[in-house]
Amino acid sequence: MVTPVKTKTLRSWKERARQLKQEVYALYLAYRDPRVPWYARLAAALVVGYAFSPIDLIPDFIPVLGYLDDLVVVPLGAALAIRLIPATVLADCRERAQAELAAGKPTNWIAAGVVIAIWLLLAALAALLVLRAFQV
C-alpha cells in the first residue's frame, strides 16, 4: 500500500534528481563559457564527465554502494565546481540550462563520443599494463 508520505518522499527525490540534472547541465554550459577560469572548467568537466559517463566508480548492481557514489560524488563535485564558477556566469548558465531542458532533452553526441573514447582508452591502457605485468 502506497501511503501519502511515501508518495511525497518519492516526489521530493524525483524533484531533487531533476534539479541535479539541471545543475550538471548548467555546469556543462559553464565549462564551455570563456568567462570561466581554467581550474573551474577542469572541475566542471570532471563532474559532467563523471555524471554522464556510462561507467561508475562503483557499479550500480552492488546493493546500496552502487547508487551511493552517484548520490555523493556527483553532488559534492557539483558543489565544488559551483563555488569555483563566477556567480554571474553560473546564473546565466542556469537560465540557459532551464530553458534548454524545458524545450527538450539536449543531446551532444560529440561529448558522449569523447567520454566513451576516454573510457575505452583507459581500459586499453589498463589491459596493456596487466599484460605487461604477467609477462615478467
Q: What is the pLDDT of residues 60-111, one digit of tens each?
A: 677 777 777 777 888 888 999 999 999 999 999 999 998 988 887 666 677 6
Rank 56-60, 61-65, 117-121 by mean pLDDT and report only the highest. Answer: 117-121
Cell (9 digits) for 89: 556566469
Residue 37 confidence (pLDDT) above 90:
yes
∠ Cα 51 55 61 (to 5°): 105
- pLDDT of 57: 66
- pLDDT of 135: 84
Q: What is the pLDDT of residues 1-14, one digit of tens each?
A: 556 666 777 677 77
Q: What is the end-to-end Cα distance of the chain in Å, rounded?
A: 61
Mean pLDDT of 108-131: 83
Which of the four pLDDT bands, split at 50, 70 and 90, describes residue 34?
A: very high
Asked if residues 35 and 89 have their Cβ atoms less than 8 Å apart, the reply is yes
Cell (9 digits) for 73: 560524488
